[in-house]
């Protein structure tokens, strides 16, 4: 949580950090990713065996540079295989000998799915990267039988058909996939088999029961909408019931562990665009309230852990500018980089409620990372993601901002969050979306015996600055600040300050 005081234009802004006031743990899974069979995400992104630059490709056909980038970001969990794609995906098409896998017409993005990459390849890729898989189930054309079969294939040690099929395909040990989504955006008119909230809730509850009967150790994620809709409240009240018969293996746990919500932001005006993710903050707060309310209505005992929010698709995306059917290859600007920084500030501020967040997506499709035949481009949005993932871990700490708002709006020019890592370092992020004013501000609460505070600034020459194969116009500038007196927060920038408090803060 960051509190805010609105000042008049010309008043001196202030930033206050309270490192001794830890508010809540930041779940590492906030820095998770998402890879969908869409555009060049899987084929050409993760997997690129026909690339003539063989030094970029490993023995599995995976892009080495992409693997290294995921490692650099320490991405903890990656969602797969969709997205809208999953509504017609039959996992059995994607296992076994490659030359026998069927090619299928793909209805979400109107392409052809070759099934060259399927479950075993994705699991292998996760192992190489050192990340955990998160699988979404087909709630469109898929059946519960198929879903149970997939769970058995991935997680079972028994002597049963699908576990044996996995063994036959060369994998003795189960993959132990923990995260499973009960469909994706089933409310959307674009879905193959769009559902009513009533139909979805009924089906999701029955599937949840069966899936947990088969493997009570899994984490099940309910398909919400944006956190504030009738759909969200209905599915929560229908599915967050007390599990008195221990159908999920234990009466002390919920059948549903997380509630998924999605949101993409974008606006033509660069300031509005950079600040648009603040809308997500209201969604998270309201959604957390709906979860509470559903539990109250259903008299779920307080001892049963409340589901957390799984924000498993978030990013800057304008589908009119970068349509899904043509691969959704957004070229991100400085304004978009600051929007991503504000998105991440929101997740840090709301860490109490967030169990996972997945940038959508992780390679080529609306992504901070773009591949080309000879290497990678790190888009503008890569840099805030990298700084947050490296340093904004541990616990959210209290912070306060006082500053003027953009004229004619209630939008504060500055957006901030603060965290204390398990190593005791404090990190403060301040995004300044003012187009022309650098704010020189005394930061209260910086107490350190170190002579200097680390300072990282992400900025560029103009709102429209982008990164290309030849030019990193937006990147991190490393610097130091004395820790006393005013600190400069440049116009159109994200600044991160880092220090180790002296004397227990």
Site residues (CB under 6 A) for ligand AHR? Answer: 36, 82-84, 184-185, 313, 324, 360-361
Annotated catalytic residue 68: no
DSSP code string of 22-76? EEEEEPGGGGBEE--SSTTSTBTTTB-TT-S-GGGB-TTSBBHHHHHHHHHHT--
As given in the structure block, the two tokens for residue 426 are 């404090």
Nearer to ligand AHR, 190 or 477 (CB): 190
d(CA 82, CA 280): 22
**Least distance from C-beta 103 to ligand AHR, angstroms?**
20
d(CA 505, CA 20): 6
**Least distance from C-beta 397 to ligand AHR, angstroms?**
32
Nearer to ligand AHR, 106 or 185 (CB): 185
**Least distance from C-beta 313 to ligand AHR, angstroms?**
5
**Least distance from C-beta 34 to ligand AHR, angstroms?**
7
Annotated catalytic residue 313: yes
Is residue 417 classed as helix, strand or coil in its secondary structure? strand
d(CA 277, CA 411): 12
Contact 118, 100 (CB under 8 A): no
Nearer to ligand AHR, 70 or 80 (CB): 80
CA torsion angle 419 423 426 429 (round to 10) = -50
Nearer to ligand AHR, 326 or 409 (CB): 326
As given in the structure block, the two tokens for residue 327 are 């691969």
Cα separations in angstroms, 15 against 223, 400, 403, 428, 501:
38, 6, 9, 10, 17
Nearer to ligand AHR, 13 or 83 (CB): 83
d(CA 240, CA 236): 6
Task: Phi first, then psi: give them for residue 356, nearest 5 degrees.
Answer: -160, 150
Beta bridge partners of 369: 378
Q: Which of 113, 185, 281, 330 is catalytic?
A: 185
Nearer to ligand AHR, 183 or 248 (CB): 183
Contact 281, 228 (CB under 8 A): no
As given in the structure block, the two tokens for residue 17 are 């950090």
Beta bridge partners of 441: 487
Q: Count helices and strands (H / E) in the chain.
A: 10, 22
Is residue 501 classed as helix, strand or coil in its secondary structure? coil
Nearer to ligand AHR, 27 or 184 (CB): 184
Query: Which residue has the CB atom at the shortest distance from ligand AHR?
Result: 83
Contact 441, 11 (CB under 8 A): no
**Least distance from C-beta 54 to ligand AHR, angstroms?**
31
Nearer to ligand AHR, 84 or 155 (CB): 84
Q: Which residues contact 344 (CB under 8 A, 6 or more apart)?
A: 30, 384, 385, 388, 392, 417, 429
Q: Which of 106, 152, 281, 313 is catalytic?
A: 313
Place of tokens 């993005």: 109
**Least distance from C-beta 319 to ligand AHR, angstroms?**
8
**Least distance from C-beta 468 to ligand AHR, angstroms?**
23
Cα separations in angstroms, 425 against 24, 149, 409, 439, 447:
16, 46, 35, 24, 11
d(CA 264, CA 315): 5
Nearer to ligand AHR, 90 or 500 (CB): 90
**Least distance from C-beta 260 to ligand AHR, angstroms?**
10
**Least distance from C-beta 172 to ligand AHR, angstroms?**
33
DSSP 76: -
| b (16+ CB within 10 A) / e for 324-341 | beebbebebbbbbbbbbb
Positions marked catalytic:
185, 313
């Amino acid at each position: 949580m960051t509190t805010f005081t609105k000042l008049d234009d010309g008043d001196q802004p202030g930033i206050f950090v309270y490192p001794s006031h830890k508010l809540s743990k930041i779940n590492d899974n906030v820095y998770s990713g998402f890879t969908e069979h869409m555009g060049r995400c899987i084929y050409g992104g993760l997997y690129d065996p026909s690339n003539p630059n063989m030094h970029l490709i490993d023995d599995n056909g995976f892009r080495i540079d992409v693997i290294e980038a995921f490692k650099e970001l320490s991405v903890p969990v990656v969602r797969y295989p969709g997205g809208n794609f999953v509504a017609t995906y039959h996992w059995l098409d994607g296992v076994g000998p490659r030359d026998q896998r069927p090619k299928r017409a793909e209805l979400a993005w109107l392409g052809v799915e070759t099934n060259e990459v399927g479950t075993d390849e994705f699991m292998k890729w996760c192992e190489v990267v050192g990340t955990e898989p998160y699988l979404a189930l087909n709630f469109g054309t898929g059946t519960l039988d198929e879903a149970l079969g997939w769970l058995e294939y991935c997680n079972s040690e028994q002597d049963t058909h699908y576990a044996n099929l996995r063994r036959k395909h060369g994998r003795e040990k189960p993959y132990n996939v923990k995260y499973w989504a009960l469909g994706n955006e089933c409310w959307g008119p674009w879905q193959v088999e769009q559902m009513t909230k009533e139909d979805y809730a009924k089906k999701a509850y029955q599937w949840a029961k069966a899936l947990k009967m088969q493997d009570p150790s899994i984490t099940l994620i309910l398909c919400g909408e944006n956190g504030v809709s009738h759909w969200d409240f209905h599915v929560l009240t229908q599915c967050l019931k007390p599990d008195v018969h221990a159908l999920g293996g234990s009466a002390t746990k919920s059948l549903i562990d997380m509630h998924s919500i999605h949101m993409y932001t974008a606006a033509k005006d660069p300031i509005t665009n950079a600040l648009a993710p603040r809308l997500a903050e209201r969604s998270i707060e309201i959604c957390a309230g709906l979860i509470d309310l559903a539990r109250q209505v259903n008299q779920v005992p307080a001892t049963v852990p409340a589901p957390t929010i799984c924000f498993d698709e978030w990013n800057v995306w304008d589908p009119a500018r970068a349509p899904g059917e043509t691969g959704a290859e957004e070229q991100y600007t400085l304004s978009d980089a600051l929007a991503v920084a504000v998105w991440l500030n929101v997740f840090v501020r709301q860490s109490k409620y967030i169990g996972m967040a997945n940038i959508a997506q992780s390679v080529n499709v609306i992504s901070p990372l773009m591949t080309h035949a000879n290497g990678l481009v790190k888009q503008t949005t890569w840099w805030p993601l990298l700084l947050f993932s490296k340093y904004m871990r541990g616990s959210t700490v209290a912070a306060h901002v006082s500053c003027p708002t953009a004229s004619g709006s209630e939008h504060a020019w500055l957006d901030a969050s603060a965290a204390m890592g398990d190593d005791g370092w404090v990190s403060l992020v301040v995004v300044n979306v003012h187009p022309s004013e650098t704010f020189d501000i005394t930061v209260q609460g910086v107490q350190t015996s170190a002579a200097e505070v680390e300072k990282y600034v992400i900025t560029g020459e103009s709102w429209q600055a982008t990164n290309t194969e030849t030019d990193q116009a937006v990147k991190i500038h490393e610097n130091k600040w004395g820790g006393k007196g005013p600190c400069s927060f440049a116009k159109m920038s994200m600044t991160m300050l880092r220090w180790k408090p002296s004397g227990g803060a």
